[in-house]
């Protein structure tokens, strides 16, 4: 009985090892400009950009989750219900950066201070 279980266990261990070795997380590389955005920003609400390319925005209840990137000079926010290609301006000031986002289509502007 023990002899018949050993080959099966070895096969399972080898199969598990081979399967899991293929599970590598692809690390996203950021431009210098994108690196500056990573973190939490506070204005009339809060937006956070994470190093895995995800983000959240606290202007809706419940909190809105999505992904972000800078593409062709625009801050692209991919939310579950829509994608926005926003104009943005990043200014270095006293105490950190200021981020101004102008929403595509509506022209609504929000200014955030780096936390």
Structural domains of the chain sorted by starting position, each given as residue range(s) with its CATH number in brackets: 30-114 (2.40.128)
> 80-111, pLDDT tens digit by residue?
888 999 999 999 988 889 999 999 889 999 99
Mean pLDDT of the chain: 83
Query: Has residue 16 got a pLDDT over 70?
Result: no
The pTM is what? 0.72
Residue 12 and residue 20 in contact, taking contact as beta carbons nearer than 8 Å:
no
Query: Has residue 15 got a pLDDT over 50?
Result: no
How crowded is the C-beta side of 44, counted as CA atoms within 13 Å?
A: 8
Residue 85 and residue 104 in contact, taking contact as beta carbons nearer than 8 Å:
yes
In the chain, how long is the greatest CA-to-CA distance?
A: 74
Q: How confident is the model at residue 35 (pLDDT cuts 50, 70, 90)?
A: very high
SS3 at position 81: coil
Q: What is the pLDDT of residue 93?
A: 83
């Amino acid at each position: 009985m023990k002899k018949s279980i050993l080959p099966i266990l070895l096969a399972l261990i080898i199969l598990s090892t081979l399967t899991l070795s293929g599970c590598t997380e692809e690390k996203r590389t950021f431009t210098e400009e994108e690196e500056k955005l990573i973190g939490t920003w506070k204005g009339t609400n809060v937006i956070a950009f994470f190093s895995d390319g995800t983000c959240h925005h606290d202007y809706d209840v419940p909190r809105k989750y999505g992904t972000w990137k800078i593409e062709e000079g625009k801050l692209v926010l991919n939310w579950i219900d829509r994608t926005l290609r926003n104009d943005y301006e990043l200014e270095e000031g006293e105490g950190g950066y200021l981020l101004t986002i102008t929403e595509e289509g509506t022209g609504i502007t929000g200014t955030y201070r780096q936390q």
